[in-house]
Amino acid sequence: MSAIDTLLHPRHRRACTYKAVKPFLSKPMPAIELKYFTPPSEKERRQNIKKTNLICWQCENKVAIVGSTNTITGEIICDICAIKNYRDYEGFRTIQAAKAHRRRMFDVGYLLTEVLIDHYLNKYSLNEGELLDEEHGMLVEFSIDLQNMIPIPKKTELQNSIDQSKIEHYYQRLIAQYLKLPSKRPQLI
Ligand SMILES: [Zn+2]
């Protein structure tokens, strides 16, 4: 444990307990590389600010991107505040390190959808442009079902895994176990 760890309140040491994250408490963890999904750009943020009426209850600024919603009170906080909170609660030392680790929480989920899409495209020898909206919708739904089957400790392990090929390999096994695609492409419309 380094000197700064001893100064942190115990409830702020959660990330410090994950061995894989220890080198990334100050510097950002590498991002998960996605092919089909792109996170919102600065331009989109600015456009959202112009359109929105939502106010963050924590910083009282307009919300460009919702960071989290309190399901009981309905209060909304912006993603900038959500990242600051994530830094404090998870024991990160910089905003950039907290932001990168929090980003991975969402991106491991998107990665499962992408592995699933690739599995489907390969099965029927399709390219991305040939995937119908109905098929995409079906795959997103199935991806959510699969996500719900992954135990929480495993999800944390995936979020903390630096080797993306290992995450993909786990997803491929999950898909092989639960998805039985017919030999001919399903007719959804
Ligand atoms: Zn805020």
Distance 1 CA to ligand 1 centre (A): 32
Residue 113 belongs to domain spanning:
3-178
Indicate whether 183 belongs to any domain: no
Distance 76 CA to ligand 1 centre (A): 9
Indicate whether 93 belongs to any domain: yes
Distance 65 CA to ligand 1 centre (A): 10
What average pLDDT is seen over the chain? 90
pLDDT confidence band for 39 (50 / 70 / 90): confident
Indicate whether 189 belongs to any domain: no
- The whole-number pLDDT of residue 10 equals 58
Q: Which residues contact 28 (CB under 8 A, 6 or more apart)?
A: 96, 97, 99, 100, 101
pLDDT surpassing 60 at residue 1: no
Distance 162 CA to ligand 1 centre (A): 29
Distance 49 CA to ligand 1 centre (A): 12
H helix intervals, the chain: 3-7, 42-51, 79-90, 95-123, 133-149, 152-160, 164-178
pLDDT surpassing 90 at residue 24: yes
pLDDT surpassing 60 at residue 5: no
Distance 68 CA to ligand 1 centre (A): 10
**Amino acid found at 14:** R
Distance 58 CA to ligand 1 centre (A): 5
Domain count, the chain: 1
- The whole-number pLDDT of residue 187 equals 86
- The whole-number pLDDT of residue 3 equals 57
pLDDT surpassing 80 at residue 116: yes
Task: Convert the pLDDT of each residue in 49-80 to its tens digit.
Answer: 899 999 999 999 999 999 999 888 889 999 99
pTM (2 d.p.): 0.85
Indicate whether 165 belongs to any domain: yes
Indicate whether 121 belongs to any domain: yes
Indicate whether 187 belongs to any domain: no
Task: Convert the pLDDT of each residue in 124-178 to its tens digit.
Answer: 999 999 999 999 999 999 999 999 999 999 999 999 999 999 999 999 999 999 9
Distance 44 CA to ligand 1 centre (A): 17
Separation CA 164–CA 169 (nearest Å)? 9
Distance 99 CA to ligand 1 centre (A): 14
Distance 54 CA to ligand 1 centre (A): 10
Distance 83 CA to ligand 1 centre (A): 9
Indicate whether 188 belongs to any domain: no
Indicate whether 21 belongs to any domain: yes
**Amino acid found at 41:** S
SS (H, E, C) 84-131: HHHHHHHCCCCHHHHHHHHHHHHHHHHHHHHHHHHHHHHHCCCCHHHC
- The whole-number pLDDT of residue 11 equals 58
- The whole-number pLDDT of residue 179 equals 93
Provide, rounded to the nearest whole percent, the portion of the chain with pLDDT above 70: 91
Separation CA 180–CA 66 (nearest Å)? 36
pLDDT confidence band for 85 (50 / 70 / 90): very high
- The whole-number pLDDT of residue 144 equals 96
Distance 55 CA to ligand 1 centre (A): 8
